Amino acid sequence: MARTLDEVVTAVATQLMAVNAATNAAVSQRVLAELVGHFGVDVSFLRHNDHNIHATKLIAEWPVRTDIPDPDPLALVYFADADPVFAAAENAKEILVFRPEPATDDYQRRIEEARNIPGVTMAVVPMLSGDVTTGCLGFVKFGDREWTPEELNALKAIASLFAQLQARIAAEDQLRFLAEHDDLTGLNNRRALIAHLDQRLAPGQAGPVSALFLDLDRLKAINDYLGHTAGDWFIRVFAKRLREGAEGPNLIARLGGDEFVVVPDSPMTADEAEALAHRLQMMLRERVSIDGEMLTRTVSIGVALGVPGRDTTSDLLRRADQALLAAKSAGGNKIAVFSDDMSLKGGFRNDIELHLQSAIENGALVLHYLPEVDMRTGEILAFEALVRWQHPTRGLLSPNAFIGVAESINFAGELGRWVMRAACAEFRTWRSKGIGDDAVLRLNVSPVQLVTEGFVKTVADTIEEFGLDRGSVCLEITESVVVQDIETTRITLAGLKEAGVQIAIDDFGTGYSVLSHLKSLPVDTLKIDKSFVRELGTNQGDLAIVRAVIALAESFGLELVAEGVETEEAALTLLRHGCYRAQGFLLSRPVAGDAMEALLAQRRIPVQFSAAPVR
Ligand code: C2E
Ligand code: MG
Ligand code: MG
């Protein structure tokens, strides 16, 4: 049965929706085959423009040519060498239709005869992203063919579906690369290291798995005296030597600053790992010339082993870190292998472990709140509860200091329940005074909580107990958790959704893993991680990422919140690109409960960038 043009466009949309980078070519080819059939043309192709190298790249074609020469002359075509049709596709904004001239004139006829090709009709449909032509769809009919305006409109709609897909895949690729690599050295980053160790330490893997935790001694002095450029340069040289000397195969990661981890691929005893550490240390001690000065920096190394099926990634990294601390506190330029009594010295950690339980009982935990604002108007749209610990001797502790410990001692559930109850109770008090009626309470959830039995019910019951409507509570989860146990997570999120609770992905962009699941998870909001936002306005790389995330959010129909807006430039840049929800020190610091109540009563925070373009 012949399909209407609308049905054809809808069918294309449906097929392209689930495509990712890996399936793009195959699905595109299938769609082209259907279009060839539907429009009764002979050839169809999809090409992407690469404006960096001024070329167009073949993505899919139908029918697939037989006997494609190697290299394929059509695979990558530089606009400079292209025939006029391809060249026109570089910046075309409107559909171009080429039809054979009626072969009345002698010249034309002679050309056709000489080339032995009949006149062809060709429709080139540009793919557009904003004002950039990102590629084209081509349809070739041997002989003459008329395209009706309705057909051309359908082609336009189809090209725009392909353009959206292309933008989404580009954004995904970019985020994925960024998520796995360290900018400065090109080494793996923390996330890649953790993924690798998770896999190596799974039950049944060969072990023991050794981790060497390296730290440059006194790098700070180079930064302080020679400047950051010199410090960066030094780190790059160090990374290069490490790559050359680490006796691969192995995984080498930079954890930020001057910390590196080497994980050899082959299982090792503690003695073997220590011997490797000594060889590395010798090699890394060689001098480096910076600005004509010869510098040496010694390195301290902590060594630890993990047994697959018994130890977790965080066990292993914590031990290696403790061994490193021991090496450093022995004066640096040392190697230490983890031993059990070192763990007793993790004093701070122990202290936290011991006192966390009583902190809850003694009311030493407090909540601060961070408003989330519509930057166009200053209106407070939501507020995020952030837990703090008023520690008797250590002062006000930030969650980063104790949440990790709580998780490792199976205490996250209890902590999370306290936070949820305390925040809901406070919110109810405000609501009972008619304050904060339109605002949403955002709560951070620990990964472990999410996969705990009965979590959905606890959440639903708590919200009900405090008489809050469920739509005014949103749970924030971090990316990594979503993926660790995707099936359980999916069920939990679906349950939460059904219970009417909103869901946000926190710190978005720092882990790529959730991207592939984003389409299938019931998520309402993405929060762009502050590391991409802080330098907006000065850092072009960050801007590219943020634009990619904005595009992703749009294509999935999600709300978007920028975290960590500290400067007016960042705020203006976000507004300019269509992201207006934000939180950050420019708008407000986290504040205590009574201050939050006062802000909510006022309903808005005066926004300082009055020149902001209102969209
Ligand atoms: P998060 O959920 O991404 O929360 C935002 C963090 O960014 C807060 O740090 C906030 O103070 C900080 N922040 C906000 N604006 C700016 C800014 O403009 N610049 C900078 N540099 N920082 C800004 P905080 O309170 O230290 O919380 C850190 C993390 O601890 C949170 O990150 C969240 O993941 C976790 N956390 C906080 N409270 C809880 C909780 O009750 N339960 C759980 N599981 N985690 C929590
Ligand atoms: Mg959060
Ligand atoms: Mg965050």
SS (H, E, C) 37-75: HHHCCCEEEEEEEECCCCEEEEEEEECCCCCCCCCCCCC
Q: What's the 590 CA to ligand 3 centre distance in angstroms?
A: 13
Q: Residue 614 pLDDT more than 60? A: no
> pTM for the full model?
0.58
Q: What is the pLDDT of residues 5-31, one digit of tens each?
A: 999 999 998 898 888 888 999 999 999
Q: Can you give the pLDDT at residue 81? A: 86
Report the pLDDT value the prediction gives residue 594, as an integer from 0 to 100.
97
Q: Which ligand is nearest to the CA of 504?
A: 2
- Decide: 121 in ligand 1 pocket, CB within 6 A: no
Question: Does the beta carbon of 525 lie inside 6 Å of ligand 1?
Answer: no
Q: Give the model's pLDDT for residue 343.
A: 58
Average pLDDT of the segment spanning 278-295? 78
| Residue 489 or residue 272, greater confidence | 272
Q: If pLDDT is split at 50, 70 and 90, which confidence band does 293 have?
A: low
Task: Say yes or no to pLDDT of 178 above 70.
Answer: yes
510 close to ligand 1 (CB < 6 Angstrom): no
Q: What pLDDT band is residue 358 in, cutting at 50, 70 and 90?
A: confident
Q: Determine what percent of the chain is predicted with pLDDT higher than 90.
A: 47
Ligand 1, atom 11, lies closest to the CA of 590
Average pLDDT, the chain: 86
CA 478 to centroid of ligand 3, rounded, Å: 8
pLDDT attached to residue 613 = 47
Mean pLDDT on 393-422: 85
Which position has the higher pLDDT, 103 or 327?
327
Residues whose beta carbons lie less than 5 angstroms from ion ligand 2 = 444, 476, 506
Q: What pLDDT shows up at residue 359?
A: 87
| Nearest atom in ligand 1 to 400's CA | 30
Centroid of ligand 2 to alpha carbon of 370 (angstroms): 9
Q: Does the C-beta of 563 come closer than 6 Å to ligand 1?
A: yes
Residue 202: which pLDDT band, with cuts at 50, 70 and 90? very high
Range of weakest confidence among 158-172, 408-422, 507-521? 507-521
Closest protein CA for atom 27 of ligand 1: 399
Q: Which ligand is nearest to the CA of 399?
A: 1
Tell me how far the alpha carbon of residue 387 lies from the centroid of ligand 1, in angstroms.
9
Q: Which residues surround ligand 3, an ion (CB under 5 A)?
A: 506-507, 563
Q: How far is the CA of 595 from the centre of ligand 3 (A)?
A: 21
Tokens of 60: 């899919």
Query: Mean pLDDT highest for which of 130-144, 353-367, 510-524?
Result: 130-144
Please state the rounded mean pLDDT for residues 547-561: 89
Q: What are phi and psi of 336, to 5 degrees?
A: -130, 140
CA–CA dist 117, 126 (Å, integer): 25
CA–centroid distance for 177 within its chain: 9
Q: In what order do the strands lie in the sheet with 132-142?
A: 76-78, 55-62, 43-50, 132-142, 120-129, 96-98
- Note the pLDDT tens digit of each residue in 230-282: 788 888 888 898 888 887 789 999 987 788 999 999 998 999 999 999 999 88
What's the confidence (pLDDT) of residue 185?
87
Share of the chain above pLDDT 70, in %: 89
- Better pLDDT: 230 or 214: 214
Question: For a substitution probing ligand 1, which of 563, 567, 605 has the most ligand atoms within 8 Å of its CB?
Answer: 563
**C-alpha of residue 399 to centroid of ligand 1, in Å:** 7
Domains in the chain, CATH or no CATH each: 5-179 (3.30.450.40), 190-338 (3.30.70.270), 363-602 (3.20.20.450)
pLDDT at 257: 78
CA-atom Rg of the chain in angstroms: 29
Binned at pLDDT 50, 70 and 90, residue 408 comes out as: low
Give dist(CA 535, CA 565) in Å, integer: 9
Does residue 357 or residue 252 have the better pLDDT?
252
Please report which ligand is nearest the Cα atom of 365. 1
Q: In the predicted model, is pLDDT for residue 104 greater than 70?
A: no
What is the pLDDT at residue 449?
A: 85
Lowest mean pLDDT among 257-271, 451-465, 511-525: 511-525
Query: For residue 446, what pLDDT band results from cuts at 50, 70 and 90?
Result: confident
Task: Indicate if ligand 1 lies below 6 Å from the C-beta of 566.
Answer: yes
Which pLDDT score is estimated for 105? 56
Do the beta carbons of residue 578 and residue 371 sit within 8 Å? no
Is the distance from CB of 446 to CB of 412 less than 8 angstroms?
yes
| Number of Cβ atoms within 10 Å of the Cβ of 252 | 21
419 CB less than 6 Å from ligand 1?
yes
Say whether pLDDT at 151 is over 90. yes
